[in-house]
Structure 1
Amino acid sequence: MKTKEITKIAIMISIIIVLGFFPPIPIGLLPVPIVIQNAGFMLSGLLLGKKNGTISTVLFLLLVALGFPLLAGGRGGLMVFFSVTAGYLIAYPFASFLIGWMTEKFNPNNKGVFAAFVITFLFGVVFIDFLGAVGISLISNVSLSNSLIASLAFIPGDIIKAFITAILARRISKTLNKKG
């Protein structure tokens, strides 16, 4: 792995950490709050591709597992992987991989914001929210159908995050391509 790739991975991990500083917003429907941090996992796939985007996400989650309080709300440690947010945490590396893979295949160099948005919506928003709902259902003994219905509360905000992420990825890619 080249130094440039390692640097991009480290910067992406830093971005994800900074996004965790935004306080989580609790909602009444689910025991899971609204967070901005999941936009970082989507961005990692868009900007770094399937391999390096997944590596950045896995390394971030490894830091969390080691006990660093890097998740939104200052959470960390192994127990977060056994809490109601487990489905979301498990979904993040897969989402980064899928977003990166689809971006490399259908939207190389983030040439189109619309394509990046569709990829991010399908493999970021829908995929993450679905696995998150499955996790909530398994851990909190809520039926899957009720968990999925309650998870619809996240969709409007996640659509906005996916759109902003697609725009940011396009602008960052454009800037990086200009600088070589």
Structure 2
Amino acid sequence: MKTKEITRIALMVSIIIVLGFFPPIPISLLPVPIVIQNAGIMLCGLLLGKKNGTIAVLLFLLLVALGLPILAGGRGGLAVFFNITAGYIYAYPFSVFLIGWVSEKFNVKNQHLGYGFIITFVFGALFIDICGAIGVSVLSGVGLLQSLTGSLAFIPGDAIKAFVAALIAQRLSKMLT
């Protein structure tokens, strides 16, 4: 692995950590808050691709597991991998891989902004929301349909996060090449 790749991975981990400093916004439909941090996860897949993006997110999750309070709301430690938000957290590396894989396959960096948005929204926002809803259903005893319905509250904000991530990635990818 080249120094340039290691530096980009470290910078992306830092961005994800900084986005975790934004306080979570509680909603009444689910026991899961709205967070900005997953925008960094989406951006990671677009900027770093499937391999380095996944490495960056796994490194971030390792830091969380070691107890650093870097998840939104100042959470960290092994307990977060077994609580109500675990489905969302487990979806992060798979989401980054999918975003990176699809964006590499269709060469999104040289395409219209809409392609990056669609890929980020489907394989980032929707994928994370569905996995998270499944996790909420399993860990809380709430029915899957009710959990998925509650997750609809995340869609408007996630659409904005996916658009911003695609926009930033499009602008930065021109500078990073």
* TM-score for both structures, normalised by structure 2: 0.98
The one-letter code sitting in structure 2 at the alignment partner of 1:138 is V
Q: Which residue of 1 aligns with 2:85?
A: 85
Q: Offset of 1:174 from its aligned partner?
A: 1.3
Q: Which residue of 2 aligns with 1:152?
A: 152
Q: Which residue of 2 aligns with 1:47?
A: 47
The one-letter code sitting in structure 2 at the alignment partner of 1:88 is Y
1:24 alignment partner, SS class:
coil
Q: Is the 8 A contact 1:110 1:173 kept in 2?
A: no
Q: Deviations over 1:62-116 (max 9, x none)?
A: 0000100000000000000000100000000000000000000013435321110
Q: Which residue of 1 aligns with 2:143?
A: 143
The answer to whether structure 1 residue 171 and structure 2 residue 171 are counterparts is yes
Q: Which residue of 2 aligns with 1:134?
A: 134
Q: Offset of 1:176 from its aligned partner?
A: 1.9
The percentage of aligned residue pairs carrying the same residue is: 70
The one-letter code sitting in structure 2 at the alignment partner of 1:42 is M
Q: Is the 8 A contact 1:103 1:110 kept in 2?
A: no
Q: Is the 8 A contact 2:39 2:162 kept in 1?
A: yes
Distance 1:61 1:32 in 2: 18
Moved over 4 A (4+): none
Alignment of 1:67-82 (within 5 A): 67-82=67-82
* TM-score for both structures, normalised by structure 1: 0.96
Q: Deviations over 1:98-151 (max 9, x none)?
A: 000000001343532111001001100110000000000000000000000000
Number of residue equivalences? 177
Alignment of 1:77-116 (within 5 A): 77-116=77-116
Q: Which runs of 5+ in 1 are unaligned?
A: none
Q: Which runs of 5+ in 2 are unaligned?
A: none
RMSD of the TM alignment (CA)?
A: 0.8
